[in-house]
Structure formats: structure tokens, C-alpha cells
Amino acid sequence: MKTRIIERFDDSAEVKRRFVREHADRIAELAGVMARAFREGNKVLLFGNGGSATDASHLAAEFVGRYHKDRRPLPALALGADMAALTCIANDYTYDDIFARQVRAHGHKGDIAIAISTSGNSPNVLKGAEAARECGLVTVGWTGHQGGKLASLVEYRFVVPSTVTARIQECHITLGHVLCELIEEDLFATTPR
Ligand SMILES: O=C(CO)[C@@H](O)[C@H](O)[C@H](O)[C@H](O)COP(=O)(O)O
Ligand SMILES: [Zn+2]
């Protein structure tokens, strides 16, 4: 059993090492794009299913609350967090519409949409990303496998080189934390606001 435990931690670390070798420049670029969006008064919308829904909530809380620095709150919404909106949209329309409709409600040109799907093929995430594109948001996709359909829909794609949902999610949350750190440093380099 101990071998299995060590193997899983090794797998997780190796997936992250491979991911960052491929994506470090693009991560830095996205951090700059997100910092500029916040500076200009725009917000971030994040959405995904299951573990990715809670990753979206987790990261939205880092922006609205704090990551490392004591600074002004940054606007971010996790679209899986509003139970009334989710149940209403799924009940009155379809489950595939739960994110797209909220993107159309809250999203404005210049905002950032982060669509999270390990398979890259969840229909509600794809529809959310399509709505974001139509509304003029900057579209970002965090995925795994070969990227799925999501990768070809978005402007900034981050494809984790794994086919294991858990390993992909573990890399996504590290990506989110690193972005938070870079964005805080960019916006609040010297004096906390
Ligand atoms: O957290 C896990 C597995 O680690 C699950 O809850 C997982 O997120 C769900 O099966 C999702 O529905 C998977 O959807 P997706 O990532 O392929 O879009
Ligand atoms: Zn999970």
C-alpha cells in the first residue's frame, strides 16, 4: 500500500513538472492579462463540474478574499456556487445551460472566463465558453487529455498532460494558485491597497 501512495504523489509531481515545462510562458502571459483586466475594473468568472466546480469556488475566494497579500478585494465569481441559479436554469432550461446563461447575465466585454473541464468535453462547460466568446470575454480553458473540444474554443488553453481526472485537477489548482501569486505581485507590488 505504501508503494501505491508514493506512486500517486510521484505521478502528481511528474504531471505538474511536464505541464509547467510546456506552459510556463503562457502562464506568465495569462497572469499579465488577468492583472490588467482587474486593473481596468473587469472581473473573472470561473466554472466547471464536480471537483472543478469547487476549484472554481476555491480560486474565486482567493481573489475576493485574499491569497497572500492584504489588499483590496478582486471581483471573481464561481458560477457553480449559486444553488438557486443552478437549479432554476437546469430545471427551466437544461443542465447544459447552467453556465452559459450565467455568463450572459454577469459577463461583460473585457472580463475573463475560466472554463475548467478535465475531459474538455462537458457540454455545459463548452456552452459556457461559447457564450463567453460571444459576449467578448477573454476565454481561458483548463483541461486535460488531448484538450477536448474546449481547447479549440478558447483563446488561452492549458492542457494538463494526463488522462487521470484527479491528477489533472491537482495540476489545475496549482496553476490557479500560481496565477493568484503572480497577479497579486503585479497589482500590489509595493503598497497594499
Ligand atoms: O472530482 C472529481 C474526480 O476527481 C469529479 O467530481 C469530477 O469533477 C466530475 O466527474 C466531473 O463531472 C468531470 O467533468 P469534466 O472535468 O470532464 O468536465
Ligand atoms: Zn476529485
Residue 51 Cα, ligand 2 centroid: separation in angstroms? 5
Residues 16, 53: Cα–Cα separation, whole Å? 20
Regarding the beta carbon of 64 and ligand 1, being less than 6 Å apart is answered no
Superfamily of domain 2-187: Glucose-6-phosphate isomerase like protein; domain 1 (3.40.50.10490)
Residue 170 Cα, ligand 2 centroid: separation in angstroms? 9
Which residues keep their CB under 5 angstroms from ion ligand 2?
Answer: 51
For ligand 1, what atom is nearest to the CA of residue 143?
16
Residue 146 Cα, ligand 1 centroid: separation in angstroms? 16
pLDDT at 192: 45
pLDDT in tens, the chain (193 residues): 999 999 999 999 999 999 999 999 999 999 999 999 999 999 999 999 999 999 999 999 999 999 999 999 999 999 999 999 999 999 999 999 999 999 999 999 999 999 999 999 999 999 999 999 999 999 999 999 999 999 999 999 999 999 999 999 999 999 999 999 999 999 998 654 4
End-to-end CA distance of the chain: 49
**ipTM here:** 0.98
Model confidence pTM above 0.95: yes
Regarding the beta carbon of 122 and ligand 1, being less than 6 Å apart is answered yes
Regarding the beta carbon of 124 and ligand 1, being less than 6 Å apart is answered no
The per-residue b/e assignment along 118-146, b for 16 or more CB within 10 angstroms, e otherwise, is bbbebebbbbbbbbbbebebbbbbbbbbe
Q: What are phi and psi of 141, to 5 degrees?
A: -125, 125
Domain extents for the chain? 2-187
- C-alpha 95: how far from chain center: 20
